[in-house]
Chains A and B, each alone.
Chain A
Amino acid sequence: MCQHVDTFRSLGAQVVLVSFGSPTLAVRWLRETAAPFSLWLDPDRKAYRTYGVDRSLFRSWGPRAIMTYARLLLAGRRWRGIQGNSSQLGGDFIIDETGVIRFAHPSHDPTDRPDIDVLVRILRQASSVSSSS
């Protein structure tokens, strides 16, 4: 996603990462990943619940997720340990400037994230709504 930061900027899109981690962990994570995005904190996970982003220990640690983590580690990804509730899943949502949801994808499991090309295409469509309104 970091490789597409110029595309996001050209579309006038803001990328906001939402985490339930502590401020200390979040600052460290941003520094280590160099993610060039805003990171907002939702410690009690109210926004997660509002957006229907699920929790499941079984789906978080299913065979597909474990295989994906193993592949990432073999590819050199650093393991930072588990920080916080490991059963919490993620999700991706696109909102246009009028406040309408254009894309909603609460993850079924940790490997279930939308393709970046799909996100860029929908952001492009949402951006055209913004510029014509």
Chain B
Amino acid sequence: MTFPTIMTGQPAPDATLMSLEGEVVHLRQAWQSGPALLVFLRHLG
């Protein structure tokens, strides 16, 4: 499987996720009022 290459300087892709409360959230909300650090976790072990 080939994944896209994400490069610095590019616009960050948005994505739709879910909060722990079950609400729809958009990744772009993370950087709407300041810089964001997105940490993609491995399994929750």
Contacts and interface: CB of A to CB of B under 8 A. Distances in A.
Main secondary structure of the interface of A (DSSP, over half): mixed
A104 B20 contact: no
Contact of B4 (A42, A50, A90): A50
Interface residues of A, number: 69
Given A18-B38, A94-B36, A104-B7, A47 B27 contact: yes
Contacts of A94: 35-38
* Chain B at the A interface: SS class: loop
Shortest 6 CB-CB contacts between residues of A and residues of B? A12-B34, A126-B35, A47-B15, A52-B3, A21-B44, A40-B17
Contact of B44 (A11, A15, A83): A83
Contacts of A104: 6-8
A83 B42 CA distance: 9
B42 to A, nearest CB: 5
A13 B35 contact: yes
Contacts of B39: 1, 15-18, 37, 90-92
Given A46-B15, A86-B45, A130-B35, 4 more contacts: A40-B20, A93-B6, A126-B35, A127-B35
